[in-house]
Amino acid sequence: MSSDCPCPDTRRRLAHWLILLALATGLQACSGNGVTVTTPGAGLKCVDDSPACVAERQATMKAMLADPGRTWVSQRPDAAAYASGVRLFAFKSKKKELSCAELQAGKREADAGPAILRAPGNGLSHSQVSRGVILAHEVSRELGREIERRCGKG
């Protein structure tokens, strides 16, 4: 089996992680639960499933989705940002609102994800790399379909 086709166990872990992230982004701000969110951008570096990391990713996702200028689209992510999934989820969530240029930037980012995640020395665990690669492939496909639907192939 190729490295682009992860085992069912990895898919289950990714599904669990995606559910956690989806629940976190759907919740109100984490006030009163003992979790301190440092800065909205901190969620791009937080890759585990601890309550603090989930809160950090939630805050980052909220800030990105609320940014009317979508300044985050032009920023360049590192391996941790890919592993956190926040940027890719933001592209996925906003795909119907993005311009063709923004969709293409998102697709390029998603396409670059697997190589960046697999680069040696990035400090990520095998499962963090695997779920990031799966998410990158999924987002690339979705953005590609949106590009074809709205922007044409060329």
pLDDT of residue 33: 42
Tokens of 76: 């360049």
The answer to whether 49 and 17 have CB atoms below 8 angstroms apart is: yes
Q: What is the pTM of this model?
A: 0.73
The answer to whether 64 and 90 have CB atoms below 8 angstroms apart is: yes
Task: Decide if pLDDT at 41 tops 90.
Answer: no
pLDDT of residue 148: 96
Tokens of 16: 């669990």
Residues 90-145 have pLDDT tens digits of 999 999 999 999 999 999 999 999 999 999 988 899 999 999 999 999 999 999 99
Task: Decide if pLDDT at 46 tops 50.
Answer: yes
Separation CA 133–CA 38 (nearest Å): 27
The conformation of residue 3, written as its DSSP 8-state character, comes to T
Separation CA 98–CA 96 (nearest Å): 6
Query: If residue 154 lies in a helix (H) or strand (E), which one and from where to where?
Result: none
pLDDT of residue 47: 87
pLDDT of residue 36: 46
Residues 50-74 have pLDDT tens digits of 898 888 888 899 999 999 999 899 8
Task: Decide if pLDDT at 34 tops 50.
Answer: no
